Amino acid sequence: MLSRLMSSSIRSLDRECNCTVRLLDDSEYTCTIQRDAKGQYLFDLICHHLNLLEKDYFGIRYVDPDKQRHWLEFTKSIAKQMKSQPPFTMCLRVKFYPPDPAALKEEITRYLVFLQVKRDLYHGRLLCKTSDAALLAAYILQAEIGDHDPGKHPEGYSSKFQFFPKHSEKLERRIADIHKTELIGQSPETSELNFLQKAQMLETYGVDPHPCKDVSGNPAFLAFTPFGFTVLQGNRRIHFLKWEEVTKLKFEAKTFHIYANQKEDKKIILTYFAPTPEACKHLWKCGVENQAFYKLEKSSQVRTVSSSNLFFKGSRFRYSGKVAKEVMEQSAKIKRDPPEIHRSEFLCFLLSLNHGELASSAVFSGLESLRDSAHSTPVRSVSHGDSFMSSRGHMVDGSEASTSGVISDEAYSPSDSVLPTPVAEHGMEMPLARHLNGAPCSIDEEKDSEAGASKEGQGVDLTSGRRALRMVRSRPSPPSDVEELNKFILSVLRLFLVTIGLLFALLLLLIMLTESDLDIAFLRDIRKTPEFQQFHFEYFCPLRRWFACKLRWMGGFLISK
């Protein structure tokens, strides 16, 4: 009896696993889940922990053993999706950015979106011109530390905060000037809302960049925003398609296609190449989900989509959540006292308390990248300078929506989006060069690297060059005519084999029907034909007797055993 109880308890432990989710304020939520638990169960636990009702804008992101990013699907088992051994580590992130943050019903939702957009600004995903950057940083400063106090905030205090991957002293002074003079008296709630309203007007608001190459082999970033599909290349936005213009998204291996209909029945097809087939599939699934969320009127209109024109080829996927309009309608029905918000300490952005402690800046840079590793965009290694991206005001005009426009004097380069960064594991060791360049490293390694932080500039330049070389080598080249011909031949062969298989299945079904006792005029006519009589007596009857004999022999063998 004791051994039976012990074995049952061991089996119970085997069915459970630990799961850690890193939240947007860098805190961690740890729980124990059943191995067969679905993603929705874990997501509901987190939302209950955060007291979050407007939860449809958020998702859980993880990285598989092949270092490919994924969004956790709520209708599937967590353990089967992770493809790794527990304990599992994931991150809570904004999956669908609200088109108008001011329209959010609850302050807790706006605060979490504020934390996400603040991360986007720090990691180079949200790019803006210098004047906008200074105002956004000042809003963050006001929300974090309140009004300027000369006793607490000495000269140069804004340089102690890391708002961007890099910024100049001139920009730091401008941030401090705005904070001292223009934002006096603003509460954290007001500053956060003003920050979101300003960020929402930028071209790259809501951008989660996917690195690709165009048909000419030039690098580009593809992204899905609340307003449509966009392509950023160099310092230009070369394409923007509204969601109502996008008709289809398709991928095959590393190739991603976007079909769209624009004004005057103008049809266009955009083709890009992802680094790996897994990255291309992730890009496609993100596009399908974003299009369904922002374009459809209700979730009942969601349909299962295929990555190919043929039903027997490619992947099939269906978005399983609510759409934006339903989320807004549901939010309007929320009636409860505003939940208490525990805002994170401003020290999460404070690099040091003394000017002399510059060595720790590299450590905090790597630490922030570690904490945001599941979003796979470590620190952007270009200077913000004086030229950031212009605002998104011209997007309102539909005639200009798809034209190419300069977004910055610098190329859009969100740090390390090309290499999806795995969530750091305990005991994991990585070279210091990756840490200095903004890629994740272990916390122990961060502590050990403080002594060598004075060599940061040299390390950044060296590793940036090596990373650029790896990026060029790893990116796929556009397919040649021979490859296209091979793909066509394979498609024809697949079609031929499937056709033969269907015909064979129909033939078997017809034989079963004619040999059955069904009394249908059509079957009676077939049974009277000489060809059927010959087939019945010469082939079907002997085959049936042979099978019956084999079955009797197997039955006798099993009984004797």
Q: What is the 3-state secondary structure (H, E, C) of 267-301?
A: EEEEEEECCCHHHHHHHHHHHHHHHHHHHCCCHHH
* Cis upstream peptide for 422 (omega within 30°): no
Q: For the chain, how big is the Rg over CA atoms in Å?
A: 29
Local confidence band at 556 (pLDDT 50, 70, 90 cut-offs): confident
Q: Are 235 and 411 in contact (CB under 8 A)?
A: yes
pLDDT at residue 413 in the model: 66
Determine whether 151 is exposed, middle or buried from the number of CB atoms within 10 Å of its CB (0-12, 13-18, 19+). exposed
Determine whether 426 is exposed, middle or buried from the number of CB atoms within 10 Å of its CB (0-12, 13-18, 19+). exposed
pLDDT at residue 415 in the model: 57
pLDDT at residue 425 in the model: 41
Percent of the chain's residues with pLDDT above 90: 44
Q: Considering only residues 130 and 365, tell me which one the structure prediction assigns the higher pLDDT.
A: 130
- Beta-bridged to residue 471, according to DSSP, are none
Average model confidence (pLDDT) across the chain: 77
Q: pLDDT at residue 481 above 90?
A: no
Terminus-to-terminus CA distance in the chain, angstroms?
A: 32
Written as six digits, the tokens of 254 are: 């590393």
Q: pLDDT at residue 427 above 70?
A: no
For range 97-119, the mean pLDDT: 95
For range 181-187, the mean pLDDT: 93
pLDDT at residue 66 in the model: 86
pLDDT at residue 56 in the model: 96
Q: Are 58 and 39 in contact (CB under 8 A)?
A: no
pLDDT at residue 124 in the model: 87
Residue 427 neighbours by CB distance under 10 Å: 7
For range 49-72, the mean pLDDT: 94
Among 14, 20, 59, CA closest to 426: 20
User: Could you give the 3-state DSSP secondary structure of residue 361?
Assistant: helix
pLDDT at residue 181 in the model: 93
Q: pLDDT at residue 389 above 50?
A: no
| Packing angle, helices 169-181 and 130-145, rounded to 10 | 50
Spatial CB neighbours of 192, under 8 Å, sequence gap ≥ 6: 110, 111, 114, 139, 143
DSSP 537: I
Written as six digits, the tokens of 71 are: 């969004």
CA distance 510 to 529: 14
CA distance 88 to 86: 5
Local confidence band at 519 (pLDDT 50, 70, 90 cut-offs): confident
Among 442, 476, 469, 115, CA closest to 278: 476
Give the sheet arrangement for strand 28-34, strand by strand. 28-34, 16-22, 88-94, 58-63, 69-71
pLDDT at residue 3 in the model: 53
Q: pLDDT at residue 392 above 80?
A: no
Q: pLDDT at residue 57 above 80?
A: yes
pTM over 0.85: no
Q: pLDDT at residue 110 above 50?
A: yes
pLDDT at residue 95 in the model: 96
Local confidence band at 462 (pLDDT 50, 70, 90 cut-offs): very low
CA distance 515 to 544: 11
CA distance 77 to 86: 14
DSSP 157: G
For range 317-327, the mean pLDDT: 92
Q: Considering only residues 433 and 416, tell me which one the structure prediction assigns the higher pLDDT.
A: 416
pLDDT at residue 308 in the model: 67
